[in-house]
Amino acid sequence: MMDFRLSSEQQEHVEKAREFTREWISPNAARHDRSGEFPLEICREAFKHGLMNPHVPKEYGGRAERVLDHCLVMEEMCTGCSGIATAIDGNGLSQYPIILAGTHEQKRRFLAPMTEQLMFSAYAVTEPEAGSDVSRVKTTAAKVGNDYVLNGVKWWITNGSVASWYFVLARTGESLTGFIVPADSPGIVRGPKEHNLGQHASNTVRVTLEDVKVPEAYRLGAEGDGFNIAMETFNHTRPGVAAGANGITKAALNISLSYAKRRRTFDKKLISNQGISFKIAEMMTKLDAARYLTYKAAWLFDQGEDNAREAAQAKWFAADVAMSAALDCAQILGGYGYTQEMPAEKLIRDAKIYQIYEGASEIQKMIIVAKMLRLKEVH
């Protein structure tokens, strides 16, 4: 039997996130988009409301939230502003490698404090020469006594300026190894905030590591485990990213619907024109399709099953749907959709990154095909 309804607990989660979005995220979205200021005050409120660090295991003070539940929350928050939601949720990407491969001591030392007070962490994998192709990472980790000495440049690091520690992927010989690097380690240099096309509230910086000493105790797993840890992490986080894209689609849909039902043209409401109403029908249908892909990818992860293909499908499809929905929203709003005073243009700028980060859409398709190559036939 299949049940598409949310449980009462999930419905409660959604209501809570929606209320928070209406009160804190949406009203501040335009301001943070214009100023580029990191939404610390909103993160503080999100922390108080229990909307941060949802995946931390219960024994370390967290809630061990299921990925599906987290997706529901992310969709709501990104309907308000995906930049602010990324700032709130950015910790998850760097926490998961520790949840996946960390020792008890590492979890106690780095995860537990994040549930007690507002703190940030960052996933530092991408480099100027290594984006989609993670295996090209050049940052080195040389073993010196009981320490590793890290040198390299990490690029487009979300929450990089505010993080208390980083998950860093570095090269140990031929293979890649993951490390937890406290942000106050001597030799860490944080660059200025990047001026990106969208998600201006999110903090994206360059982080340079110059002879940064990291104790062996902060290495995640064995030497050479880093690549698998980094990739496994994406299976966990990609449904959440897809949910964020769904939030943008939902915002575009709501704005379009609200506008088209009220704006009059040729002596009738805008929505009375099929050219407009069909766009809205398509948006709604694509949103549902993207949601079901997202929920399935998340549900598979929660069941402990391999969700790599489904997560890639969800992330790619939801990102494309968000982009097209944002463009359609601007088209429905006409000239107003092209101005900065209406939310449509921000949605276009924000949606674009979903086709790029945490694996570009092309990479997602490569993952899907790679998984399909193992199949004899598709049922």
- Least gap, CB of 122 to other proteins (angstroms): 25
197 CB-contact burial (10 Å; exposed 0-12 / middle 13-18 / buried 19+): exposed
Catalytic sites, residue numbers: 358
- Least gap, CB of 28 to other proteins (angstroms): 9
Residues of this chain that bind other proteins (CB under 8 A): 18, 21-23, 25-27, 29-31, 35, 79-80, 250-251, 254-255, 257-259, 262-264, 336, 339, 341-343
Q: What are phi and psi of 214, to 5 degrees?
A: -125, 125
Pairing of strands 268-269, 121-124: unpaired
* CB closer to other proteins, 188 vs 322: 322
Q: Which of 187, 186, 182, 193 lies closest to 209, judged by CA?
A: 187
The pair of three-digit structure tokens given for residue 186, joined into one six-digit string: 């001597």
- Least gap, CB of 283 to other proteins (angstroms): 14
Q: Is the dihedral of CA 290, 295, 298, 300 positive or negative?
A: negative
The pair of three-digit structure tokens given for residue 21, joined into one six-digit string: 């979005």
Q: What are phi and psi of 126, to 5 degrees?
A: -60, 145
- Least gap, CB of 17 to other proteins (angstroms): 11
- Least gap, CB of 48 to other proteins (angstroms): 18
C-beta separation of 175 from 227 below 8 A: yes
Q: What are phi and psi of 154, to 5 degrees?
A: -105, 145
Query: What b/e readout covers 290-310, taking b as 16+ CB neighbours within 10 angstroms?
Result: bbebbbbbbbbbbeeeebbbb
* CB closer to other proteins, 138 vs 261: 261
Cα–Cα dist 77/75, whole Å: 6
Within 10 A of 260 (CB to CB), how many other CB atoms are there?
Answer: 21
CA angle 220, 86, 242 (to 5 degrees): 85
The pair of three-digit structure tokens given for residue 138, joined into one six-digit string: 């050049």
Pairing of strands 204-215, 188-190: antiparallel
* CB closer to other proteins, 138 vs 262: 262
C-beta separation of 221 from 178 below 8 A: yes
* CB closer to other proteins, 27 vs 224: 27
* CB closer to other proteins, 181 vs 243: 243
- Least gap, CB of 45 to other proteins (angstroms): 13
* CB closer to other proteins, 97 vs 343: 343
